[in-house]
Amino acid sequence: MEYKIVLASGSPRRREIMDLVGAEYIVIPSDKEEDMSGHEPARLVEKLSKMKAEDVASKVKGRIDIGSLSKDYLNSVVIGCDTVVAYEGKILGKPHNEERAFEMIRDFAGKSHHVFTGVCLIVIENGRITQTVNYSVPTTVNVSPMTDDEIRSYIATGETLDKAGAYAIQGRFCPYIESIEGDYYNIVGYPVSSIYRELKKLGINLF
């Protein structure tokens, strides 16, 4: 059976990775409000990725019913993801101002922190959900020691304010990454290797 792929995310970085591997897919983002409370990081991203994937799975059915989506999508897989940065067990959101960005980076400079991405794969066959796979992927990021001047110079690039953890590993922060333990693409927000493997177990080709 051939499955259509639906990416439940409007993230340009996730789309770039899907394009990089040559996947054919459509984007239907979730508009569910995120509740960031009450869970440790790995469980939180699992919960949020599942919430997004379930929301988009219902949208797929609704669009097929009204004729705005091809009936080819009666057999499809929805891929939902959510990513957080955590330091010492605390989730680091977007800093919103430069002083908070400075505090975040100064806290983990010269130390390690973690990035967790939750993944939820929902398989739809003949318009009905038949399987759900939900898990999280951790990656450890080791940051070099940084002076206050280096931190402020990085903040001046403008990359920090819309990034969880106040940095972009694929951007101007890369000189300060000493090493990583795990999947680089997980830090970007899309652990494509694990997604490929899990889909393969389900008999579904990512590309």
What are the residue numbers of the active site?
82
- Residue with tokens 């955590």, as numbered in its chain: 86
Question: What six digits make up the tokens of 46?
Answer: 């699992």
Rounded Cα distance between 79 and 96, Å, is 28
> Burial, 159: exposed, middle or buried (Cβ in 10 Å; 0-12, 13-18, 19+)?
middle
Residues 123 and 139: beta-carbon distance below 8 Å: no
Rounded Cα distance between 60 and 201, Å, is 23
Among candidates 194, 197, 198, which has minimal Cα distance to 185?
A: 194
Cα–Cα distances in angstroms (integers) from residue 46 to residues 58, 133, 134, 174, in the given order: 18, 10, 6, 27
- The continuous run of DSSP H or E covering 104 comes out as helix 98-108
